């Protein structure tokens, strides 16, 4: 290798390589030579001389030092991947032997798994990752188990997923442990196993990740709502702080407001909804403002029509038609001579919106497809919708 032919190498790097090239392979001991070749290969790889780096790594043989030999194989695989020679990279990583280079072997398996995931070969990827043992690589192990668990959940294998996620301990990696317990909690919640889900979510409460902690508290509240423990629900939601997660905080405050609204405590509901800022979550902010506006415009004792109007203005992006109509009615209600007309129009608008909500077609999240006449007929004539429609007709 002639470093003079390499354009772009700075003087300091040239001198470093020249010194390493002076290390020769001895008859009985090749470790120093192998170590020097690995260092040269790493320098060249980082500088972008990939083909030359491969040649330098390839000079290391098994007799020099088995561990460095297989480490060189790992590096060659990394370079081949950078060159988009994916199959050759996998072949090279597969040559790494656990007996001589356990950490390089585990890293190689992890990389093979990652490539297989990109190819959507989930089963093969998991098989490679399951070769990674906690004793051999304690820092990589929690990451791998978390990935395995998430992949298995995506493929509907929840039992195996939970087994994998439960292998992560708080001592090995507290952040990954919290994330794993959070995923377990949500999975069990979906399966209706509320008590087990609650136990897993409670394991997250001392998480070092504030975002995961906030989401856990939020879901604990939702779980307790399903179980039927109202006081604990509110306590859990109040523990969600804005500094931990703005979105979780906004969701918690909206849930608190909705809970109090359902229980006819509108003062507490308004207080909770008013805590939500636009910067927390624009959609939840506008939903909260819309609910506040509805309360004020319907309350003819308080007559806070100005505040109702402000709230509807804040909700315009999410409720363009409804908020606009309510604003116009607010103008009428603020005029003593036109208030009676405003009240009649408000009554009409509220009835209209109830009918619209009742008849709204939505056969799936984000479904904007034009519905077939048969599906529309089935919807409008079913035993739930048609009697309600007649009531308003």
Query: pLDDT band at 21, cuts 50/70/90?
Result: confident
Range with lowest mean pLDDT among 225-239, 263-277, 353-367: 353-367
Q: Band the pLDDT of 146: cuts 50, 70, 90.
A: very high
Domains in the chain, number: 1
pLDDT category at 229 given cuts 50, 70, 90 is: low
Of 64, 37, 68, 65, residue with least CA distance to 53: 37
pLDDT recorded at residue 37: 95
Predicted confidence (pLDDT) at residue 129 exceeds the cutoff of 60: yes
pLDDT of residue 361: 55
In a domain, 188, yes or no: no
Q: Which residues contact 379 (CB under 8 A, 6 or more apart)?
A: 359, 361, 371, 385
- What is the DSSP annotation of 66-94? HHHHHHHHHHHHHHHHHTT-HHHHHHHHH
Asked if residue 361 is part of any domain, the answer here is no
Domain annotation covers residue 81: yes
Residue 370 binned pLDDT confidence (cut-offs 50, 70, 90): very low
Task: Name all contacts of 282-285 with Cβ < 8 Å and 24+ positions apart.
Answer: 282/317, 283/318, 284/247, 284/250, 284/251, 284/254, 285/250, 285/314
Segment among 50-64, 76-90, 336-350, 358-372 with least mean pLDDT:
358-372
| 7 occurs within a structural domain | yes
pLDDT category at 371 given cuts 50, 70, 90 is very low
User: pLDDT tens-digit profile of 164-209?
Assistant: 999 999 888 888 998 999 899 999 989 989 888 888 888 886 666 7
Query: Which pLDDT does position 364 carry in this prediction?
Result: 42
**Which is more confidently placed, 188 or 389?**
188
d(CA 21, CA 112): 32
Reported pTM: 0.58
Q: What is the pLDDT of residue 28?
A: 60
DSSP string covering 93-134, please?
Answer: HHT--TTT-HHHHHHHHHHHHHHHHHTT-HHHHHHHHTT--T
Structure tokens at 221: 């509240």
Query: What is the mean predicted confidence (pLDDT) over 325-337?
Result: 96
Examine residue 242 and state whether it is found in any structural domain, yes or no: no
Exposure string of 213-238, with b = 16+ CB inside 10 Å and e = fewer, is: bbbbbbbbbbbbbeeeeeebbbebbe
| Span of 8-17, 119-128, 263-272, 298-307 with lowest mean pLDDT | 8-17
In-domain check, residue 283: no
What number is the average pLDDT over the span 123-136?
90
What CATH number should be reported for the domain holding residue 31? Answer: 1.25.40
Contacts within 8 Å (CB) and 24+ apart, 52-58: 52/1, 52/6, 53/79, 54/79, 54/80, 55/1, 56/1
Within a domain: 79 = yes
pLDDT (average), residues 325-336: 96
Euclidean distance between the first and the last CA atom of the chain, given in angstroms as a whole number: 89
Domain span at residue 93 reads: 1-105
| Residue 215 scores a pLDDT above 90 | no
Average confidence (pLDDT) over 114-134 = 92
pLDDT of residue 369: 45
Q: Has residue 344 been placed in a domain?
A: no
Span 7-35, average pLDDT: 84
Placement of tokens 């470790």 in the chain: 31
Separation between Cα atoms, residue 277 and residue 249, nearest integer Å: 10
């Amino acid at each position: 290798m002639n470093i003079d032919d390499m354009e772009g190498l700075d003087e300091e790097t040239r001198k470093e390589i020249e010194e390493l090239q002076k290390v020769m392979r001895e008859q009985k001991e090749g470790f120093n030579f192998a170590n020097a070749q690995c260092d040269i290969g790493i320098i060249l790889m980082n500088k972008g001389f990939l083909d030359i780096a491969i040649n330098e790594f390839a000079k290391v043989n098994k007799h020099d030092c088995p561990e460095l030999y297989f480490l060189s194989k790992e590096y060659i695989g990394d370079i081949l991947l950078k060159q988009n020679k994916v199959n050759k990279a996998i072949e090279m990583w597969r040559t790494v032997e656990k007996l001589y280079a356990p950490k390089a072997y585990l890293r190689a398996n992890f990389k093979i798994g990652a490539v297989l995931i990109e190819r959507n070969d989930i089963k093969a990827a998991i098989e490679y990752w399951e070769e990674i043992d906690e004793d051999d690589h304690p820092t990589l192990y929690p990451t791998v188990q978390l990935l395995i668990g998430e992949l298995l959940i995506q493929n509907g294998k929840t039992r195996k997923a939970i087994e994998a996620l439960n292998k992560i301990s708080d001592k090995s990696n507290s952040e990954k442990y919290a994330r794993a317990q959070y995923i377990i909690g949500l999975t069990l919640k979906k399966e209706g196993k509320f008590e087990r889900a609650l136990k897993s979510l409670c394991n997250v409460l001392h998480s070092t990740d504030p975002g995961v902690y906030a989401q856990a508290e939020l879901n604990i509240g939702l779980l307790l709502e399903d179980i039927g423990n109202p006081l604990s629900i509110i306590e859990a939601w109040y523990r969600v702080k804005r500094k931990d997660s703005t979105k979780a905080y906004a969701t918690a405050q909206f849930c608190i407001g909705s809970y109090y609204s359902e229980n006819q405590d509108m003062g507490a509901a308004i207080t909770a909804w008013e805590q939500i800022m636009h910067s927390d979550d624009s959609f939840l902010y506008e939903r909260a403002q819309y609910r506040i506006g509805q309360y004020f415009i319907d309350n003819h004792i308080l007559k806070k029509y100005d505040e109702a109007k402000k709230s509807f203005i804040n909700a315009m992006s999410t409720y363009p038609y409804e908020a606009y109509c309510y604003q116009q009615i607010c103008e009428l209600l603020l005029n003593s001579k036109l208030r009676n007309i405003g009240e009649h129009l408000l009554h009409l608008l509220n009835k209209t919106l109830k009918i619209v909500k009742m008849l709204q077609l939505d056969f799936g999240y984000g479904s904007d497809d034009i519905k077939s006449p048969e599906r529309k007929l089935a919807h409008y004539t079913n035993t739930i919708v048609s009697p309600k429609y007649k009531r308003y007709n």
